[in-house]
Structure 1
Amino acid sequence: MTTSTGPAAEPVAEPVDLLDPELLGDPFTGYGRIREQAPLVRARFPGAPSDLWLATRYDDVRAVLADPRFSVDPGNVPGGEAENMRAAILRSRGITEEYAPYITGTILDLDGADHTRLRKLVSRTFTVRRVNDLRPRVERITADLLDALPGAARDGVVDLIEEFAYPLPITVICELVGIPEEYRPQWREWGRDLVSLEQDGRFPRAVAAIVDHVRGLIEERRGDLGDDLLSGLIRVRDDDGGRLSDTELVTMVLTLVVAGHETTAHLIGNGTAALLTHPDQRALWAADPDLGPRAVHELMRWCGPVQGTRMRYATEDVAVGGMPVRRGEAVMAVLVGANFDPDRFPEPERLDLTREPAGRRESHVGFSHGVHYCLGAALARQEGEVALGALLRRYPDLAPAVPPEELVRQPMPASWRLDRLPVRLG
């Protein structure tokens, strides 16, 4: 239950600026301070028409994500009282009415029957059993990329983000979905543009280009259906259009490919950087290869790439941590705040690859929680485990090429992403 009988804390007067350089540079400390101020704190999201609430405490974050009285779709708020914050943010970034539905109508933006319908169409592709069957292919791709790293080095330095962390997950997800190999470098460029905050038109151009590209792929594939996910979705659309519309088909492909490689790439990048700066933990994993699953869980907690969720809108008056949220107000669940909450994780700032008990579902919320728990979590965990474990074995003398303080991160609210990760292979 989200409702609390405890005393309500006074809200902080000045809203948090989510583009504050100090918060972007050290969200672990920044959100930690916010977490101590109050259960809920007001914040400004760039491009949003009004302030929203931040939930940063572990129990409150899980409660908001699991409570059906919070909806990711503002249209589910009775009386039309909720401002569509995401739509407004996208308009501020130049998205036109023609292409907006492909961004605002994804599986991530729907609740209830529509969310369940779309999730069922693809969920079997991402079951633990299906993902386990993929492992030999993931290991082969990983080995090939690691073998190629010396050839990509310049003056002994290689960018691990560009040459390893990105190519692995984009290859895996494109093979699953059915994106031909010749188009994958272009998807990498579109991915860069989609996360850019520059007001130079690259974001709306990328959205339009992806939509038009996927439409073309669908027409091509209709004449040569295979066993990939795109072919399966085309069969559903053509055999039973009531289960999947044309727009939903395009949107599903866009969402799966982008979400299926962007976050995993930065899990690998962040995880590598963490291990390079924690040689004791690196040695622990190197000495015990079976530690992989637990290690990835701890890395998701400690340096996961997604630090905040989609906004949730209260469909009725609700209390979170004893503080009122009025119907129609938006709440963002701050995953990094929850994952560093000392009331749940003793010494949360300490990286401990043995923290998560073996064989138990994770206690962290790096993959979210509730009905919107990450669809591709099993695949992301496997790719992280295979990639990082193989990297440690193949290059035991791997070393950072720059000091940690010189690593540049992309200035994105609620995200933790490296621009580059220059390393020496040893």
Structure 2
Amino acid sequence: MTTTTGPSMLDPALIADPYGGYGALREEAPVLRGVGPDGSTPLWFVTRQDEVRAVLGDPRFVNDPASVREGVQVDDARRKLMAQFGLDEELAGYLTGTILDADGADHTRLRKLVSRAFTVRRVGELRPRVEAIAADLLDRLPERFDLMPGYAYPLPITVICDLVGVPESERADWREWSHALFSMRRENFPGAIRSMADNVKELIAARRREPADDLVTGLVQAQEADGDRLTDAEMVTMVFVLVLAGHETTANLIGNATRALLTHPDQLQLLRDDPALWPTAVHELMRFTGPVLGTRIRFAKEDVELGGQLIAAGQAVEAVIGAANRDPRAYPDPDRLDVTRRPVAGHGEGHVGFGHGAHYCLGAALARQEGEIALRALFDRFPDLALDSAEPEWEQVPNMRRLATLPLRR
């Protein structure tokens, strides 16, 4: 593999100010050569709205490097990164062999197994449960509190664990394992993955013995009915993805959005005056301060011209959705939070915070509902809510905008 120079995903300045840093790259060019998450492997950064949508919607860009034709050298920084973190082939497979890494028919097969649990109708049926969880958490908050452990994390992890079937006694462990992974602390990384895998295997075995009304039971029954539909490894990685993605991103949306509204009181007042704006506001908050800044790395299956650049077969691309969501070509005054903002014609929900194309976020409807309920309940319950610290403490990790703490007083 060759190395290259250029903007690096690990640049501390880019991590500290992703909107400013990636915004500058976006205005330089729609597609730029840079360095991937391992610190050495070349990567194309795709930064503008139209080009990001093109990458996410074009089947010539694949998630699994094995989908690239035989004989083509693949710039796979992910494998290098897994080695840097001390992961053997089995542990690395739990992170690189998921539904998020599947293409074509394999991706469709896996998605169908769980998509029924995330339909708009099923999500709507969960609303009373989400509202009850939010109310209970708010009842427990003291005068001064940290939003992240006190509210932002407990709400979505309770909802997704209920849905998947993770017992209540094990949810604190999942929170710790998740934090170890998303904080990218190398000393904790292998142990967290091993612990999660062992936990999921035990959960699957328990559901084989005693079925329940949850997603794990559904996966077990699907495998028993037709063994070709789902392997044991796929079952483990499916639970990984559902629990981790099902609470981490939503928790950080709640945290980021709360801070954004408290620092934009005019926008918060619009929501107080007209609560019907909340669904629109959640989309705008996802655009303005969404937690995921870049998608999973994709690989060109063949030579593709994009944004005036030729991306050769096997080369890696990173769709920088944090930059695309503030592209002035797509949004008037993009760096301004506007809870009344409506989607631009032809751009669906008005942002790419939940992705686009075949890998559009499976749990988007649930995340939107949880965000709306959590934020509205928080500000309704505490009309005098205020920041208890002038400067936020952000986690210094690439590709994520996530608060370490958010001290508040009510």
The alignment's TM-score, normalised by the length of structure 1, stands at: 0.93
| Aligned-partner SS, 2:227 | coil
1:78 maps onto 2:69 in alignment: yes
Cα distance in structure 2, aligned partners of 1:55 and 1:95: 29
Is contact 1:66-1:370 (8 Å) kept? Answer: yes
Corresponding residue for residue 9 of structure 1? none
Q: Which residue of 2 aligns with 1:5?
A: none
Partner secondary structure for residue 387 of structure 1: helix
Superposed CA offset, 1:306-334 (max 9, x none): 01001111111111111110111001000
* Structural mapping, 1:113-152, within 5 Å: 113-150=105-142
Taking a change above 3 Å as real, the CA distance of residues 376 and 62 of structure 1, as seen in their structure-2 partners, is same
Corresponding position of 2:392: 407
**2:168 is aligned with what amino acid?**
E
Q: Which residue of 1 aligns with 2:189?
A: 203
Q: Are residues 18 and 49 of structure 1, via their aligned partners in 2, closer, same or farther at CA, if it must alter by over 3 Å?
A: closer
Q: Which residue in 2 is equivalent to 1:18?
A: 9
Counterpart-to-counterpart distance in 2, 1:304 and 1:340: 11
Stretch deviating more after TM superposition (264-273 or 310-319): 310-319
Using the alignment, how far apart are the partners of 2:201 and 2:5 within structure 1?
A: 46
- Among 316, 328, 341, the alignment partner of 2:327 is 341
> Which ranges in structure 1 are unaligned for 5 or more consecutive residues?
1-12, 151-155
Partner of 2:287: 301
Measure the CA separation in 1 of the matches of 2:278 and 2:229.
39
- Once the two structures are TM-superposed, the CA of residue 357 in structure 1 deviates from its matched residue by 5.1
Q: CA deviation at 1:365?
A: 0.3
In the superposition, the TM-score normalised over structure 2's length comes to 0.96
Pairing 1:304-319 to 2, within 5 Å after superposition: 304-319=290-305
Structure 2 residue aligned with 1:4:
none
Equivalent position SS for 1:242:
helix
TM superposition shift of 1:361: 3.9
Q: How far 1:50 moved relative to its partner?
A: 1.4
The residue number in structure 1 matching 2:202 is: 216
Q: Please, which of 209, 232, 245 is the counterpart of residue 246 of structure 1? A: 232
In 2, Cα distance between equivalents of 1:97 and 1:76: 19
Deviation beyond 6 Å, 4+ runs, structure 1: none
Please tell me whether the aligned partners of residues 296 and 381 of structure 1 are also in contact (alpha carbons under 8 angstroms). Answer: yes
Per-residue deviation, 1:79: 2.3
Deviation at 1:338, TM superposition (A): 0.6
Partner in structure 1 of residue 35 of structure 2: 44
Whole-Å separation in 1 of the counterparts to 2:393 and 2:10: 16
Is the contact between residue 5 and residue 35 of structure 2 (CA under 8 Å) also seen in structure 1? no
Q: In 2, are the aligned partners of 1:49 and 1:88 still within 8 Å (CA)?
A: no
Counterpart selection for 1:292 from 278, 283, 288 = 278
Encode CA deviations 1:195-234: one digit per residue, 9 max, x unaligned.
122332x111100000011101111121210121011001
Question: Contact between 1:294 and 1:357, CA under 8 Å: does it hold in 2?
Answer: no
- Please state how far the C-alpha of 1:49 moved relative to its aligned partner: 5.0
Contact 1:410 1:416 in 2 (8 A): yes
**Partner-residue secondary structure (3-state), 2:141:** helix
User: What is the aligned residue count?
Assistant: 405
What is the 5 A alignment of 1:157-172?
A: 157-172=144-159
Of 357, 363, 379 in structure 2, the residue corresponding to residue 370 of structure 1 is: 357
Distance 1:358-1:53 versus aligned 2 partners, 3 A rule: closer
CA deviation vs aligned residue, 1:222-255 (integer Å, no higher than 9, x gap): 1210121011001111221110000001111111
Q: Report the identity percentage.
A: 56
1:394 paired to 2:386? no
- Mapped pair 1:27 → 2:13: no
Give 5+ residue unaligned stretches, structure 2: none
Distance of 1:196 and 1:204 partners within structure 2: 13
RMSD: 1.5
